[in-house]
A and B are shown apart, each in its own frame.
Chain A
Amino acid sequence: MLWASIWMYCKVFLVGGAICLLGQVLVIKTKITTGRILVIFLMIGAVLGSFGLYNYLVEWAGAGATVPISGFGNSLVQGSIKAVKIYGLFGALAGGLMATAGGIAISIGLSYLVAFFASSKTKKN
């Protein structure tokens, strides 16, 4: 039991680290900006997710596959596909946002609140 969970954490670390390493290679090779990296990795996750391939990685590596932004793309597509089975065409339109609504809402809401209290002091240095 203990060894199983240690092995699980190793897999999480390796897969998560490898995805970030791939991003860093892209950064060094092409001097790409943050927005483009995010979109590229999101689309990789979404394309793999739409063929159901990303779920194998999620089963194998847990948070190592769901925490990177490609996991966000996968849960958008998987949410949309799952909702089709329940709601039909309405699910195809609403399912993606339903599955990721929590993450998007907390990012927007908390950023809005935090912006009132924080100042952009990091710009000075």
Chain B
Amino acid sequence: MDIQERNKKYIEYVELVSPKASWGKSLFNAFLIGGGICVFGQMCADILRYFLPMTDNVTISAWSSMMIITIAIFLTAFGVFDNIARFAGAGTIVPITGFANSIASCAIEFKKEGLIFGLGAKMFFVAGPVIVNGVAFSMIAGVIYWIITLL
């Protein structure tokens, strides 16, 4: 059988078998859970601001995202996160929970391939590109800004 014909048949089969997600419902779920995670982050920030009134906003928001990351990693470890993610779609991927979950789930999954090249390397299978792109872009932006300040 021709390979392109086979691929076409396979894609048709996948389309047939994969569940038909209704547009409105999945968008609503993503909006609800994503907004809920952000509201939780704001609650963490407000509680921190109450106890540490002298801290600046950048540190407060860093602390609140670290709290969300901690919760997301523990939920991943207990296997609860996947159930929420199936319901919410991008509602859990786009907030920082998606980043934390991608590191934790890869770490748990590749642990059996060894500590160095299994856990240590493949932990960044999904999160690696995020860190690489972000750091490279921030370095370029910083150097351009430095050149502008020199002029």
Q: Is B62 positioned at the interface, with any CB of A under 8 Å from its CB?
A: yes
Chain A residues with Cβ below 8 Å from B129 are 35, 38-39
Inside 8 A of B35's CB, which chain A residues have their CB?
Answer: 12-14, 16-17, 20, 64
Name the B residues within 8 Å of A28 (CB-CB). Answer: 21, 23, 26-27
A47-82 contacts to B (CB < 8 Å): 47, 50, 58, 62-64, 66-69, 71-73, 75-81
Interface residues of B in 107-144 (CB under 8 A from A): 107-109, 111, 119, 123, 125-127, 129-131, 133-135, 137-139, 141-143
Q: Which of A85-106 contact B (CB under 8 A)?
A: 85, 88-89, 91-93, 95-97, 99-100, 102-104, 106
A20: min CB distance to chain B, Å: 3
Chain B residue with the shortest CB-CB distance to A92: B142
Interface of A, secondary structure class, is helix
In whole Å, how far is B67's beta carbon from the nearest beta carbon of chain A? 9
Q: Which residue of A lies closest to B73 (CB)?
A: A110
Q: Determine the main DSSP class of B at the interface with A.
A: helix
**Chain A interface residues (CB < 8 Å from chain B):** 5, 8-9, 12-28, 34-35, 37-39, 41-43, 46-47, 50, 58, 62-64, 66-69, 71-73, 75-81, 83-85, 88-89, 91-93, 95-97, 99-100, 102-104, 106-108, 110-112, 114-123
23 A-B residue pairs with Cβ-Cβ distance under 8 Å, sorted by A, are A12-B42, A20-B31, A21-B27, A22-B94, A23-B90, A23-B94, A38-B129, A42-B134, A67-B38, A67-B68, A69-B130, A71-B61, A71-B96, A76-B137, A80-B139, A96-B135, A96-B139, A103-B96, A107-B99, A111-B73, A111-B108, A114-B74, A115-B119
